[in-house]
């Protein structure tokens, strides 16, 4: 019988200091039974996403050690980046992969949240399938307040009361812990510095504004590169494909005479949505040169299994 496998994809508010990122990676990889599948950093977002898998007890331990280490090395008061964030470990989702289910992952999320709140003194908000109230199912409804405003309101606004931990922020901020299905973090960079265009396109395509189902999107400015980005989370790629999203962005940008410069996958992506773009999917999607075959989920899992 195949053993249980859970995927964990914590997002850290640090994408510029390799030494800090390595300390967090080491905290994860030093846990026996854990396989890091991918680590992607972005300097403009000032953010790193690490994907790892293992059996539930090992994933639990690695997740705790990662949060503990990030709290030591990341100071949110010094953090500047274009991506919304509330914590050093900003978000930490669990995904059931093999011989596990949502219920088991929710139990894991709640147990971890209680330990983090009690021992690390970090406020925890449960989201999506682990949410304790409907208004916290959507991650963006928790995180859109931002670290600075949350610091002011956490002890005075009942809506900001955490599920676990103190009603006070330290330099580690807060953390959102959740359970979800496979999500694709996908960005499209436009060959323009027109931030209003990026925001207009994000507004057009995202579900909350009547756009594509299962698409969350923001228009962001990548000032160092002089371009803008449509940054997305695709929460159900089986219902709304990467191809559909890419094609619509291309169409909307073209209305203003703007071309897609490139697109990028953050973390891992299943093989199916890539092949829907054809065998030469990298060319079709203008995937940047940072994309590696090892970012395909099935490939990453196969590589991890071969290292046992």
Q: Catalytic positions, please?
A: 83
Give 3-state DSSP helix, strand, coil % of the chain, rounded to 5: 40, 25, 35
- Cβ–Cβ < 8 Å for 86, 145: yes
Q: Which residues pair with 12 in a beta bridge?
A: 48, 89
What is the full DSSP assignment across 71-96?
Answer: HHH--GGG---SS--SBSEEEEEEEE
Distance CA 214, CA 173 (A): 28
Distance CA 235, CA 233 (A): 6
Distance CA 275, CA 130 (A): 32
Q: Which two tokens stand for residue 151?
A: 């610091």
- Cβ–Cβ < 8 Å for 220, 82: yes
Q: Which residues pair with 8 in a beta bridge?
A: 52, 94
Residues in the chain: 308
Terminal CA-CA length for the chain: 17
Distance CA 4, CA 110 (A): 19
């Amino acid at each position: 019988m195949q053993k249980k496998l859970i995927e964990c994809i914590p997002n850290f508010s640090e994408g510029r200091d390799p030494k800090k990122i390595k300390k967090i990676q080491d905290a994860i990889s030093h846990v026996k039974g854990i396989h890091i599948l991918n680590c992607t950093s972005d300097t403009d977002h000032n953010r790193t996403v690490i994907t790892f898998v293992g059996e539930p007890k090992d994933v639990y331990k690695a997740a705790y050690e990662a949060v503990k280490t990030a709290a030591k090395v990341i100071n949110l008061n010094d953090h500047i980046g274009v991506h919304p964030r509330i914590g050093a470990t900003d978000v930490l989702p669990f995904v059931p992969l093999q011989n596990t289910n949502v219920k088991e992952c929710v139990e894991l999320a709640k147990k971890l949240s209680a330990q983090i709140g009690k021992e690390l003194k970090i406020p925890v908000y449960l989201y999506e399938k682990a949410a304790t109230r409907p208004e916290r199912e959507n991650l963006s409804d928790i995180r859109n307040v931002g670290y600075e405003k949350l610091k002011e309101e956490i002890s005075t606004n009942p809506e900001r009361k955490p599920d676990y931990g103190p009603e006070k922020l330290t330099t580690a901020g807060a953390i959102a812990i959740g359970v979800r299905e496979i999500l694709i973090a996908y960005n499209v960079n436009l060959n323009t510095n027109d931030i209003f265009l990026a925001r207009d396109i994000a507004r057009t395509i995202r579900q909350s504004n009547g756009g594509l189902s299962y698409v969350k999107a923001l228009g962001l400015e990548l000032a160092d590169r002089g371009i803008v980005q449509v940054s997305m989370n695709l929460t159900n790629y089986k219902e709304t494909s990467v191809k559909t999203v890419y094609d619509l962005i291309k169409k909307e940008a073209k209305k203003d005479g703007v071309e897609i410069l490139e697109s990028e996958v953050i973390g891992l992506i299943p093989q199916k949505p890539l092949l829907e773009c054809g065998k030469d999917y990298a060319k079709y999607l203008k995937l940047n040169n940072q994309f590696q075959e090892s970012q395909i989920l099935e490939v990453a899992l196969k590589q991890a299994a071969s290292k046992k």
